[in-house]
Chains A and B, each alone.
Chain A
Amino acid sequence: QSALTQPRSVSGSPGQSVSISCTGTGSDVGRYNYVSWYQQHPGKVPKLIIYDVTKRPSGVPDRFSGSKSGNTASLTISGLQAEDETDYYCCSYAGNSQVIFGGGTKVTVL
């Protein structure tokens, strides 16, 4: 299966909202509610910020939210902060005990 499709970069000013899309197919994102999102700062380990499309792990600010429509999932960061500038990856179950990641999106805070 192919990697999920994410925009290479998105940007926004502090306090604004930005959304990152994650497009798959009817065999992965569209079929299962098992979409997760990770934040990874340079040289650091990825951090889970959303799972099962909309759930936030304990300790993750509610500025981060997830949604899904059809074959596309989205991560929205509301009230953008300087510390949010980094890379984000989506991930989806693809059936048959397979998991696939997106290519990653760099968020820039202007």
Chain B
Amino acid sequence: EVHLVQSGAEVKKPGESLKISCKGSGFSFTSYWIGWVRQMPGKGLEWMGIIYPDDSDTRYSPSFQGQVTISADKSFSSAYLQWTSLEASDTAMYYCARHVPGTWGAIDYWGQGTLLTVST
């Protein structure tokens, strides 16, 4: 059975750094694009970017380019989302997401979400 298990909720202060994780199981992690989707409180879904763990080929949404870093470690079947300096506006739920091969934008499996709260 396919699972994407994300790291737990985080409470951070502005200016702090953070790396959250997403571990896949039940499928060939290196054969799928894994992405990240943001959902701010009470708001809609925003596609942040994707990575192909086999070769770490990474694509970013222009809205998130330079704001976050997406990485992967195929030996651990894990993808990561990283910030170097958090802002209050980063407060959101972050989902990792497995993309359906051969198409774009179709996400068939989602992690449970990591809730990030950035506050003084």
Contacts and interface: CB of A to CB of B under 8 A. Distances in A.
A101 interface: yes
B45 A32 contact: no
A101 to B, nearest CB: 5
A51 B105 contact: yes
B44 A34 contact: no
Q: Size band of the A side of the interface?
A: 20 to 34
A45 B111 CA distance: 8
Interface stretch (A13-21, A74-82, A91-99): A91-99
Contact of B104 (A1, A3, A34, A101): A34
A48 B45 contact: no
B105 A93 contact: yes
A36 B45 contact: no
A93 B107 CA distance: 12
A101 B47 contact: yes
B71 to A, nearest CB: 17
B100 interface: yes
B107 A98 contact: no
Nearest to B112: A45
Interface string A67-87: 000000000000000000000
Contact of B103 (A34, A45, A46, A97): A34
B55 interface: no
Given A46-B45, A102-B44, A103-B44, A52 B61 contact: no
Contacts of A45: 95, 110-113
Contacts of A32: 104
A89 B106 contact: no
B45 to A, nearest CB: 5
8 contacts: A34-B105, A35-B105, A45-B112, A48-B100, A48-B106, A51-B105, A100-B47, A102-B44
Interface of A: 1, 3, 32, 34-36, 38, 40, 45-46, 48, 51-52, 57, 89, 91-93, 97-104
Given A35-B105, A93-B105, 6 more contacts: A3-B44, A34-B105, A45-B113, A51-B103, A57-B108, A101-B46
